[in-house]
Amino acid sequence: MKKFTVGLPVVPNDAFTEQILRSREDISEVYFSPHGVSGGRGNVFGEDLSPWDGPMRQMATLDRLHAAGIPLNVLFNANCYGADSLSRIFFDRLGDTVDALVSRYRLRSVTTTSPLIARFIHANFEGVRTRASVNMSVGTPEGMEYIAADFDGFYLAREYNRDLPRIRAMRAACDRMGKELYLLANSGCLNHCSAHTFHDNLVAHESEIVGRDNAYRFEGVCHAFLRSAENRERYLARTNFIRPEDIDAVAPYFDGIKLATRTSPIPGVILSAYLRGHHAGAVTSLLEPDHTGLFFPQILENSRIPADFTERVLRCDKQCDRCGYCADVCRAAMIQPEENVC
């Protein structure tokens, strides 16, 4: 039976916590970024919370999840830790954090972008498993072999979520090496984004950048790209998400399926859709980042995407320059919200 790993929202969300607890049989773990530690998706707790409220509320939520027997995974997945990346004081602080989490919650695993953090965890915390973040873009067996000594598992690079031969090769390599393979199901990122590393670096230094007199605001190149109507028609071909209806086609190859829910305003809708295996409405609203606003006044209606879409693209030859299938599907699925979608 497939189970999902879901992220604790960066802004406390008690309703989502209740939903996780009600769905605990379908949740394999909850992942989170500890307060005050740079992460891959920022760490802002909300303007209405004091510097104490955010961490206290996070701890109260973690207490409830742990009491319910839900395993926890902590993120140290920033793309850059700056001058602290190799410093002893950084690893001392990290060790104190992990030690507290192991003691209080019997922490099971760590997801990180740093081979050195993974090595540090292995050396100091027996039984805590290390997982290579999706932000490391591990997409080949060779890529896994290079860092196999430090990692117990790997997230598949997003770009290969719909590439069945690649998935099978990665699964076989993991089985051969005794490693685990994970999937991020609902990324809204563009495939092979040229600015992804730059953007992740900005996020890693968010707390420093926000206090500067900045000359530019960077939204991500995807925003500019998708403002073009022609490019919006290529959205399905240029992305990698697996719809709730199609999870069963890929789930057997993975040890866990991650849902990005940390920054979405509707994490409960995302979880419900994947638990049901069905969603009616804008498929982009289930994704992170959510580009629904860029399709306005249209939406990319999920129920208009053919039932065999993922099965077909999992096995296609990926020669997109010679094939218009995904663009045809995208055009047919883009509708005005008031249109009948039943």
Residue 281: pLDDT over 70: yes
- pLDDT digit string, tens, across residues 118-143: 999 999 999 999 999 999 999 999 99
Residue 170: pLDDT over 60: yes
The span from the CA of 253 to the CA of 182, in Å, is 9
- pLDDT digit string, tens, across residues 19-30: 999 999 999 999
The per-residue pLDDT of the chain, averaged, comes to: 93
The span from the CA of 292 to the CA of 148, in Å, is 38
Q: Note the pLDDT of residue 51.
A: 64
Compute the average pLDDT of residues 197-210: 90
- pLDDT digit string, tens, across residues 100-123: 999 999 999 999 999 999 999 999
Q: Note the pLDDT of residue 49.
A: 61
Residue 40: pLDDT over 70: no
Q: Note the pLDDT of residue 276.
A: 97
Residue 3: pLDDT over 70: yes
Q: Note the pLDDT of residue 45.
A: 45
Residue 258: pLDDT over 80: yes
Q: Which residues pair with 75 in a beta bridge?
A: 111
Q: Percentage of the chain surpassing pLDDT 70? A: 94
Per-residue confidence band for 76, with pLDDT thresholds at 50, 70 and 90: very high
Q: Note the pLDDT of residue 102.
A: 98
Q: Which residues, 6+ apart, have CB-to-CB distance to 158 below 8 Å?
A: 134, 137, 184, 187, 189, 191, 240
| Closest among 4, 3, 66, 79 to 261, alpha carbons compared | 4
Pairing relation of β-strands 129-132 and 4-7? Answer: unpaired
DSSP state of 262: S
Residue 242: pLDDT over 60: yes
Residue 146: pLDDT over 60: yes
Q: Percentage of the chain surpassing pLDDT 90? A: 85
CB atoms closer than 10 angstroms to residue 85? 13
- pLDDT digit string, tens, across residues 283-341: 999 999 999 999 999 999 999 999 999 999 999 998 888 899 999 999 999 999 875 55
Please report how the helices 53-67 and 88-105 are oriented relative to each other, as an axis angle in degrees rounded to 10.
40
CB atoms closer than 10 angstroms to residue 182? 22
Q: Which residues pair with 335 in a beta bridge?
A: 299
CB 3 within 8 A of CB 257: yes
Q: Where are the domains of the chain?
A: 4-335
| Closest among 280, 236, 286, 283 to 260, alpha carbons compared | 286
Compute the average pLDDT of residues 10-21: 94
Q: Note the pLDDT of residue 41.
A: 57
Q: Note the pLDDT of residue 39.
A: 63
The dihedral region occupied by 201, where left means phi > 0, alpha psi between -120 and 50, and beta the remainder, is alpha
Q: Note the pLDDT of residue 2.
A: 76
* CATH of the domain spanning 4-335, picked from 2.102.10.10, 3.30.70.141, 3.40.50.460, 3.20.20.60: 3.20.20.60
Q: Which residues pair with 155 in a beta bridge?
A: 182
In the structure encoding, which two tokens stand for residue 164, read together?
């069945």
Q: Quick one: which H or E segment has residue 141?
A: helix 141-146
